């Protein structure tokens, strides 16, 4: 079978559920499906069962032509498992912080260190520490050795040196860390057991994917002069740069041999869903005049603490006063989120000594709201384009590019 007659599968593990996408050699979407977690992000078996349910429902004629699969996941969600991959308890979501620290100081970005120490304290040193996408890769391979570099930056992996920090190399539980490979690497073929269970081709190659926000960026196929905003549970902004940038709350990822730099706020659509149902959001948004200002100055954080564009663990949300009009309150929340995004773009521009992007490409659930898009354009001052592609398609495109390099 040649690459021209083949298909690739992308699996996106998000905050609230799993989405899969199948893409052909012309980057065209062939199949798309999603599944919400049965309980929540903390249950690893939910990740596995959602993947299984979605894959089993892929039409046979599509399955038979799959040659590769890549997985993305929430980069800070960490779990502990035994050497056979069995979870030892609940995963620790990326938004849950722990006070445990090593004696030597780490970058504030290394938020998974606290989660790792908590898991070691709870389960002992003879475990494997794996982030969400890496554990699902292990399930597909029946081999939990590997970790993709971008998914392990929060655990301390240094992409410039291609190594773990010396502080980690000297700790007693160093063997709990994964063996790191670069995004797009071929990890191996799907295990015979998993291929039979899921009715997938025995020669299906498993490709090291990336984080969920990076997968969203790849779906946009953005240029160097464009910025990318992911409006999901959190607001994530990213941009390709000539070199990695330094700053608190800044993350640098290497994709396709280029640097992708950005940051993620704790604020996002999660705040909106606390107050409004999806139906209410759609109806109330239509009542908003995006050319006017609500007159309210809200800071719509979901909880105390922010990581980007400011890094302040003590920053409190400002969610009041709440006006009688629900549409006016929604408008104020959207304006607050837009100001956070605007600050983020300005921070990136200041760090790089470079103008803000010429255009912002937006992806994620919030991208479908035209009133929010216009509010953002007014507050940020940059033209905004909506991309309807999903992170699952982005990570599928990554797998396709990997197969073109390694047919």
pLDDT of 118: 94
Cα gap 389→216, rounded to integer Å: 8
Question: Is the pLDDT confidence value at 1 over 50?
Answer: no
Number of domains making up the chain: 2
Query: Based on the domain organization, do 238 and 325 belong to the same domain?
Result: yes
The region, left, alpha or beta by phi > 0 then psi within -120 to 50, assigned to residue 251 is: beta
Domain co-membership, 188 together with 313:
no
**Least-confidence region, from 102-116, 193-207, 287-301:** 102-116
Do 70 and 200 reside in the same domain of the chain?
yes
Does residue 289 surpass a pLDDT of 80?
yes
Mean of pLDDT values over 221-243: 92
- Judgement on whether residues 186 and 304 belong to the same structural domain of the protein: no
Q: Could you give the CA distance from residue 177 to residue 145 in angstroms, rounded to a whole number?
A: 9
Kindly give, in sequence order, each residue whose CB lies less than 8 Å from that of residue 279, ignoring residues fewer than 6 positions away: none
- Distance, CA of 126 to CA of 261 (rounded, Å): 35
Q: Give mean pLDDT, residues 161-169.
A: 90
Specify the pLDDT at position 258: 87
Does residue 385 sit in the same domain as residue 396? Answer: no
Q: Are strands 17-24 and 7-13 parallel, antiparallel or unpaired?
A: antiparallel
- Assess whether 141 and 26 both reside in one domain: yes
Contacts of 217 (CB under 8 A, 6+ apart): 228, 230, 238, 255, 260, 363, 394
Same domain (yes/no): 101, 233: no
Q: Is 321 found in the same domain as 291?
A: yes
Range of the domain at 365: 221-390
| Strand partners for 252 | 261
Residue 326 belongs to a domain with what CATH number?
Answer: 3.30.420.40
pLDDT for the residue numbered 105:
56
pLDDT tens digit sequence for 298-343: 999 999 999 899 989 899 999 999 999 999 999 999 999 999 999 9
Question: What's the mean pLDDT in 11-27?
Answer: 95
Do 332 and 187 fall within a single domain? no
Same domain for 228 and 192, yes or no, is no
What pTM did the predictor assign? 0.85
Calculate mean pLDDT across residues 13-31. Answer: 95
Q: Are residues 137 and 181 in the same domain?
A: yes
pLDDT digits (tens, 9 = 90+) for 34-66: 999 999 999 999 999 999 999 999 999 999 999
- Tokens matching residue 350: 């200041």
Task: Report pLDDT for 403.
Answer: 93
pLDDT, tens digit, 9 for 90 and up, residues 344-389? 999 999 998 788 899 999 998 899 999 999 999 999 999 999 998 9
Q: Quick one: 193 and 262 in the same domain?
A: no
């Amino acid at each position: 079978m040649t690459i021209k007659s083949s298909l690739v599968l992308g699996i996106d593990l998000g905050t609230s559920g799993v989405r899969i996408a199948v893409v052909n050699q012309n980057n065209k979407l062939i199949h798309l499906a999603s599944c919400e977690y049965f309980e929540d992000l903390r249950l690893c078996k939910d990740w596995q069962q959602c993947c299984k349910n979605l894959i089993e429902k892929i039409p046979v004629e599509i399955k038979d032509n799959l040659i590769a699969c890549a997985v993305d996941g929430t980069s800070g969600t960490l779990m502990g498992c035994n050497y056979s991959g069995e979870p030892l308890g609940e995963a620790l979501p990326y938004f849950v912080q722990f006070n445990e620290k090593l004696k030597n100081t780490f970058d504030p970005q290394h938020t998974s260190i606290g989660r790792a120490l908590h898991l070691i304290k709870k389960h002992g040193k003879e475990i494997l520490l794996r982030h969400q996408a890496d554990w699902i890769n292990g399930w597909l391979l029946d081999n939990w050795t590997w970790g993709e570099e971008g998914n392990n930056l929060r655990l301390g992996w240094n992409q410039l040196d291609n190594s773990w920090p010396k502080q980690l190399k000297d700790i007693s539980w160093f063997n709990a860390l994964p063996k790191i490979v670069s995004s797009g690497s071929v990890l191996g073929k799907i295990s015979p057991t998993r291929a039979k269970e899921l009715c997938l081709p025995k020669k299906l190659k498993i490709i090291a994917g990336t984080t969920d926000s990076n997968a969203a960026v790849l779906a946009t196929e953005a240029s160097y002069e464009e910025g990318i905003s992911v409006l999901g549970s959190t607001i994530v902004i990213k941009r390709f740069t000539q070199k990695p940038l330094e700053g608190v709350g800044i993350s640098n990822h290497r994709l396709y041999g280029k640097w992708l730099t950005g940051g993620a706020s704790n604020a996002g659509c999660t705040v909106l869903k606390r107050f409004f149902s999806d139906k209410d959001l759609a109806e109330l948004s239509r009542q908003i005049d995006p050319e006017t200002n609500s007159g309210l100055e809200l800071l719509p954080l979901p909880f105390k603490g922010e990581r980007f564009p400011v890094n302040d663990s003590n920053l409190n949300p400002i969610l009041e006063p709440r006006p009688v009009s629900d549409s006016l309150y929604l408008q104020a929340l959207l304006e607050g989120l837009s100001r956070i995004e605007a600050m983020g773009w300005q921070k990136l521009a200041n760090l790089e000594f470079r103008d803000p992007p010429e255009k912002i490409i937006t992806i994620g659930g919030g991208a479908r709201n035209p009133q929010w898009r216009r509010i953002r354009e007014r507050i940020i001052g940059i033209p905004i384009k909506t991309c309807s592609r999903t992170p699952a398609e982005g990570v599928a495109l990554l797998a396709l590019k990997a197969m073109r390099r390694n047919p």
